[in-house]
């Protein structure tokens, strides 16, 4: 149900509502690019770097399945999901940000904050169930401790600013519960910030939106600008006194999607000291898939409209029929090189200190060849070695850049003059005008 995240307003959006959990079983894309034979000496070096590095993935949606399907992350989900503890270890992961994704329907139906509280509890219970594998973490020091103890640091980021229900008190409470970043919007514009994929209402950040950013800086919660509009991102980069992150966004210059970041904003991350974590989804990284997806949407529009009319009162059946239609019209496969191109591009435009990993595993219905699940992360290290990146630069991309930005945000909070919660900012958007 959460895959609706990716495809607002497109054909795939409709399908995702009902059937995406079957995505892992989706037939392979139309043609699989063949991978050249592996250089075993270089692969050995890649594994060595992966083992030594702090590897941080800043966005994974497996928590939605843990919450809605009671999925036990300690049990293998090969062929069903992209993530489980065994494959996280195989991928050499040090820290994972579990996405506390709040669907826009909670804005309509109410209960956004309650939904977040429920999801947060599932992360804690997973760490309690697997104390030798997972460790709750809230800081750079915790992540380093997890590395030393050979455990995976479990961190949390809220996705969708509507989760705070327009309250700075709720924002601070979420920080106390362990939330360390918030994505200011999802694909829906909320009451104080414009989204990338919805109508603009605030010309970026409203006055209250600016209060939210200042308060996040003050308490040490990272400001995440994935999913926001270009103007909102620009307002945040103007305002934030701490490094800004894009927890799972790719480069618009390589794949023309509003969900991606244009070069002029990428350059501003360098000045801000922020980091852009590359999203792995083919629909955001592969221009051939972007084009094929648009062409498919147009080509199948009549059939989709007919299905919608036929099954307007049977959403489950509608989803299944749409899924069949998609399966019969697959998109081209995406080679791993298309993903690595985004690391290259952002490193070139923003600088090698400003790029990282934000997979969106279990938040997307398809992935590049060679990156089918979280165990494949070392393939990024291998491909970067092949492109001549140094060990130091690879470690920056794997996690050191994120750790630098997170540490700087921690320092900003520690040096903030306003010590009392809500000092000077106890505002809430007052409904009563």
Q: How far is the CB of 300 from Zn ion (least distance, A)?
A: 25
* Number of residues lying near Zn ion (CB under 5 A): 1
Q: What minimum distance in Å lies between the beta carbon of 415 and Zn ion? A: 31
Among 2-10, 40-48, 146-154, 376-384, the segment contacting Zn ion (CB under 5 A): 2-10
With respect to Zn ion, which residue has the nearer C-beta, 5 or 376?
A: 5
Closest CB to Zn ion: residue number: 5
Nearest to 96 by CA among 361, 391, 371: 361
DSSP code at position 228: B
Query: By the 8 A CB rule, do 311 and 318 touch?
Result: yes
Asked if residues 56 and 143 have their Cβ atoms less than 8 Å apart, the reply is yes
Residues catalogued as catalytic: 59, 61, 159, 186, 227, 248, 360
CB 364 to Zn ion: min, Å: 9
By beta-carbon proximity to Zn ion, the closer residue of 5 and 104 is 5
18, containing H or E segment: helix 11-19
Structure tokens at 368: 């590049």
Write out the binding residues for Zn ion, residues 4-63 only, by CB under 5 A. Answer: 5
The answer to whether the beta carbons of residues 6 and 279 sit under 8 Å apart is no
What end-to-end distance do the CA atoms of the chain give, in Å? Answer: 35
With CB under 5 A as the contact rule, which of the stretches 1-9, 27-35, 393-401, 409-417 interacts with Zn ion? Answer: 1-9
User: Hey, what long-range contacts does 9-13 have (CB within 8 A, 24 or more apart)?
Assistant: 9/197, 10/293, 10/297, 11/293, 11/296, 11/297, 11/300, 11/301, 11/304, 11/322, 11/326, 12/283, 12/293, 12/326, 12/365
Burial-class residue 302 by CB neighbours within 10 Å (0-12, 13-18, 19+): exposed
4/214 with CB nearer Zn ion? 4
Name the minimum Å distance from CB 259 to Zn ion. Answer: 8
Q: How far is the CB of 379 from Zn ion (least distance, A)?
A: 22
How far apart are alpha carbons 292 and 308 in whole angstroms? 22
Q: Which is nearer to Zn ion, 5 or 257 (CB)?
A: 5
Taking the least distance from each CB to Zn ion, the nearer of 29 and 246 is 246
Per-residue x/- mask for Zn ion, residues 93 to 122, rule CB under 5 A?
A: ------------------------------
**Distance, CA of 336 to CA of 368 (rounded, Å):** 5
Over the window 118 to 157, marking each residue x when it contacts Zn ion by CB under 5 A and - when it does not, the resulting string is: ----------------------------------------
In the complex, which residues of this chain contact Zn ion (CB under 5 A)?
5
């Amino acid at each position: 149900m959460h895959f609706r995240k990716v495809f607002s307003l497109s054909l795939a959006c409709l399908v995702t509502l009902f059937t995406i959990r079957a995505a892992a079983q989706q037939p392979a894309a139309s043609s699989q690019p063949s991978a050249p034979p592996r250089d075993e000496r270089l692969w050995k070096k890649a594994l060595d770097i992966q083992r030594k590095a702090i590897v941080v993935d800043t966005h994974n949606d497996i928590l939605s399945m843990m919450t809605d399907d009671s999925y036990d992350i300690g049990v293998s989900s090969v062929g069903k999901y992209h993530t489980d503890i065994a494959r996280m270890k195989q991928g050499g992961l040090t820290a994972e940000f579990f996405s506390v994704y709040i669907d826009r329907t909670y804005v309509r139906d109410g209960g956004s904050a309650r939904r977040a509280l429920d999801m947060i509890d599932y992360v804690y219970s997973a760490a309690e169930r697997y104390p030798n594998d997972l460790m709750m973490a809230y800081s750079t020091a915790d992540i380093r401790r997890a590395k030393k103890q050979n455990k995976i640091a479990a961190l949390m980021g809220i996705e969708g600013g509507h989760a705070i229900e327009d309250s700075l008190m709720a924002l601070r409470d979420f920080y106390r519960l362990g939330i360390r970043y918030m994505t200011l919007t999802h694909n829906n514009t909320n009451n104080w910030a414009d989204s990338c994929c919805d109508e603009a209402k605030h010309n970026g950040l409203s006055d209250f939106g600016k209060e939210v950013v200042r308060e996040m800086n003050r308490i040490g919660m990272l400001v995440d600008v994935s999913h926001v509009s270009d103007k909102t991102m620009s307002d945040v980069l103007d305002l934030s006194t701490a490094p800004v992150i894009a927890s799972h966004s790719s480069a618009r210059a390589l794949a023309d999607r509003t969900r991606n970041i244009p070069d002029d904003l990428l350059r501003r991350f360098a000045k801000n000291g922020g980091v852009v974590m590359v999203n792995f989804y083919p629909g955001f990284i592969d221009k051939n898939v972007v084009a094929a997806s648009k062409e498919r949407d147009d080509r199948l529009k009549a059939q989709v409209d007919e299905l919608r009319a036929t099954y307007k009162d049977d959403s489950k059946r509608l989803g299944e029929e749409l899924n069949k239609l998609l399966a019969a019209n697959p998109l081209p496969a995406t080679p791993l090189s298309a993903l690595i191109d985004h690391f290259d591009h952002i490193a070139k435009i923003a600088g090698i200190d400003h790029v990282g990993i934000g997979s969106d595993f279990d938040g997307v219905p398809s992935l590049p060849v060679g990156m089918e699940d979280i165990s494949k992360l070392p393939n990024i290290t291998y491909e970067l070695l092949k492109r001549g990146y140094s060990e130091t630069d690879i470690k920056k991309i794997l996690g050191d850049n994120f750790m630098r930005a997170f540490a700087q945000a921690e320092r900003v909070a520690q040096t903030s003059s306003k010590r009392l919660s809500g000092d000077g900012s106890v505002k809430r958007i007052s409904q009563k005008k």
